[in-house]
Structures are given as C-alpha cells and as structure tokens.
Amino acid sequence: MSGWIGRLPHAWMRESLLLMRADRPIGTWLLLWPALWALAAAGGGRPAWSLLVIFSLGAFVMRSAGCVANDITDRDIDPLVARTRTRPLAAGRISLRAAKRLLVGLLAVALALGALLPVMTLGLCVAGALLALTYPFAKRFIPTPQVHLGVAFAWGVPIAWSAAVQELPVEAWILFVAAICWTIGFDTIYAMMDREDDLKVGVHSTAIFFGRFDIAATGLLYLLTLGLLAVLGIRLHLNGFYALFLLGALVHAGWQLFVIRHRETGAELRAFLSNKWFGWLVFLGLIAGG
C-alpha cells in the first residue's frame, strides 16, 4: 500500500478509505461533473460558491457510499476477479459488519448535506441515493447496467439545477440526458477492461452487450452527448466561447476512441481516466459562455 493512505496509523482507517476508493478520485470527478455543469448552466455561468462546496462534498460522500455498497453486494464475486480480489472486503481485511457501519455513516453525512438544500432538492437527493445503491444489482439482471449507472450519475443534474433555481426547465432535462449518454459511453470503455471476467462470473455490461460494436457505440454516445450539449448552448444563448470549449471536448472524445482502437487494457484505462478533462472542458465552456 503506497501513498497517503498507507501512511495512516490505524489499519481500520486505511482499509475503510480503500473500501471508499479514496485513493482513486476519478469516480468522484465523474459523479461531480454533471452536477457542476448544472450549477454553471442554471447560474448563467456564475454558480454559487456555497453550492459548489456542498455538491463537491456530496459527490465524494455518495461516490464513497456507492463503492462500499457495491463491495458489500459483490463480496462473493470480487474474490473471483483479478482486478477486485485485493479489495478490503474481498480480501478479508475488513469485516462485513464494519463495512455496513461505514455505509450507514456515509449515508448519514449525505443526508446532512442534503438537509442544507431546498425541500424539493432533498427529495431528489433521496431518489438519487436509491439509484446509486441499487446499481450493484442492475448488472446481475439488466443486459445494459450502464444505463442504470448513467441515470444515477446524471441525477446530479436535476438535484443541482433545482438547488440553484428551485425549478426544472427543459434545459435541465436536456443536460440530464446528455450526462446519461456521456456516462454510458465512458463506463462502456471501463467495462471493456472487465469483459472476460464479467463473462466468467455471469454479470452484464454494455461492453458485452455491444460486442464488436463497442467502440462504435461509444462514439455514438459521445456524439449524442455533444449534440445535446450544443442544443443546450443554443437554448441558453451561450456565446462563442462555449462553442470553442465544446469543440475541444469533441476533439478529446475523438482522441479517446483513437486510443482504445486496439482494445488494449492500458489504453482503455487511460481513455477512461481522461474523462475528468472532458468534464473540465464542458464546465469551463459553461462558465465562459454564460
């Protein structure tokens, strides 16, 4: 174990943070971006700092809770998969009881953050938590579980938009669908790395569902994302700076598809991780274009 987590004095603290994937912040970024996009769009390019802080903390807490819930649900599957067998619960370094307590604590913190938001938004937060906690079951029964994940990640859009302006106009739902398409796209790339193991243990993914058309499907999902973001810009009357940043996001999406063209695991991971920069490009475009 390396990094700052490995230097912590107590084993339970180290294993809890690893269970939360605190050493891998990419998940927090990917969950956070749709909410930040919504705050920027609803705020005319000037999101409230208080909401930025609340949603940043909320993304970390809910992503952590989702990881813990996922590992609790997959505790019998993870030891069979090379990439997951060393996780704290799968490897037996933390007990199931301790993991459940950690999950309850994280959900309590999330509820406390939600209580700082309008009543309408708090109800949406509860729905979002249910979406996140039920995702681990989706991959057992739904051929395309990334659709469920997409809705769960994109749910930050209506939550954040309603927190900013206490209403949900058509533009909020356009951004919501765009975030769903983006999430399905990048998580299909992630699922490509696990395709063989997923087939072995009998769980579903869009990488399996799309088969040899996985890269083409991902490209189409990215085009849908960018097309919807362009429609959003037109409806919000955003200026030319937004178009420039959106063009940058298009180039970045094309680079991802080029990188994964040979379906090599290292390249797929690099493309997946790079989506935090896609998120930055869209966010900065909404700020500059407002």
Q: Which band of pLDDT confidence, cut at 50, 70 and 90, is reported for residue 26?
A: very high
In the predicted model, what is the mean pLDDT of residues 269-276? Answer: 98
* Residue pLDDT, tens place only, 184-199: 999 999 999 999 988 9
Let me know if residue 225 belongs to a domain. Answer: yes
Let me know if residue 1 belongs to a domain. Answer: no
The total domain count for the chain is 1
Please report the pLDDT score of residue 85 as a whole number: 85
Q: Which band of pLDDT confidence, cut at 50, 70 and 90, is reported for residue 19?
A: very high
In the predicted model, what is the mean pLDDT of residues 255-281? Answer: 97
Sorted by sequence, the CB contacts under 8 Å of residue 140 that are 6+ apart come out as 203, 204
In the predicted model, what is the mean pLDDT of residues 165-188? Answer: 98
CATH number at residue 119: 1.10.357.140
Sorted by sequence, the CB contacts under 8 Å of residue 50 that are 6+ apart come out as none
Let me know if residue 263 belongs to a domain. Answer: yes
Residue for token digits 């362009």? 230
Angle at the Cα of 262 from the Cα atoms of 261 and 267, rounded to 5 degrees: 85
Nearest to 191 by CA among 230, 148, 146: 146
Q: What is the dihedral of CA 174, 63, 273, 283, to 10 degrees?
A: 40
Nearest to 35 by CA among 166, 128, 155: 155
Q: Is the pLDDT of residue 280 over 60?
A: yes
Full domain range(s) for residue 119: 9-289
* Residue pLDDT, tens place only, 111-126: 999 999 999 899 999 9
Let me know if residue 3 belongs to a domain. Answer: no
Let me know if residue 2 belongs to a domain. Answer: no
Q: Which band of pLDDT confidence, cut at 50, 70 and 90, is reported for residue 173?
A: very high
Let me know if residue 260 belongs to a domain. Answer: yes
Q: What are φ and ψ of residue 256, in 5° steps?
A: -60, -45
In the predicted model, what is the mean pLDDT of residues 72-93? Answer: 86
Angle at the Cα of 102 from the Cα atoms of 101 and 108, rounded to 5 degrees: 90
Give the HSE-up count for residue 185: Cα atoms under 13 Å, Cβ half-sphere.
28
The pTM for the full model equals 0.95
Let me know if residue 179 belongs to a domain. Answer: yes
In order, the DSSP letters of 214-277 are HHHHHHHHHHHHHHHHHHHHHHTT--HHHHHHHHHHHHHHHHHHHHTTT--HHHHHHHHHTHHH
Q: Which band of pLDDT confidence, cut at 50, 70 and 90, is reported for residue 1?
A: low
Let me know if residue 64 belongs to a domain. Answer: yes
